[in-house]
Amino acid sequence: FNPAARKVANSTADQFHEQFVDKEDYDDMMFHVFVNGQHRSVARVATSEGETWHDISARRCNDPVTGSPALITTAFDVTELKTARDKARYLAEIDPLTGCHNRNFLNDRLDEMMSKGSFGRIGLLYFDLDRFKKINDSFGHHVGDTVLQAAASRVLEGLSPNETLARLGGD
C-alpha cells in the first residue's frame, strides 16, 4: 500500500485480499488478472471509515526493484455515485406511494418473459378499486393514499416470491 492507501485501509487487514468484503469479488478480479493480465470492477471494501464501494483496476506487472511478479492496483471510492445510481434505478421501477413495482417495471418484465419463449404459464390479474374517485373526493387524497397502501399491502402478503405486483395508475 502506498501512504494514501494505508491511510484509508482497514487497519485489521494485513493482506490486500482481506480488504474485500465479498471474497468472490477478490477471486473474480484475480481470475481475470491471471487470464487477461488486467481487470476492472466495482467491489465493496473494508476501510477505516467502514464498508465503501470502490472502482478497482488491477494489472499484472513486475516489481521494479526485485523483478518479481507483482500486482498494481488503483482504487477510487465510488460509494456516493453507486448509492445515487441504485436510488435512481429503484425510483425508476417502484411506485413511491405503495412500494409496488410500477408500469415501466411491469412492461419490462412482461417483455422479458415473452422474449424468453418460456413454455411455462404466465398469468395476469388486473383489478381496480371501485368508487375510488369517490373516496378521494369525499375524504381527501390522504385517505385515498392510505386505502391504496392498505390494498397493496394486503395483496403483497399473499404473493409468492416469483409473483409481481405492480401499480399501473391512479387506482
Which residues form the catalytic set?
A: 171
d(CA 132, CA 14) in angstroms, rounded, equals 62
Q: Between helices 132-139 and 141-157, what is the axis angle to 10°?
A: 140
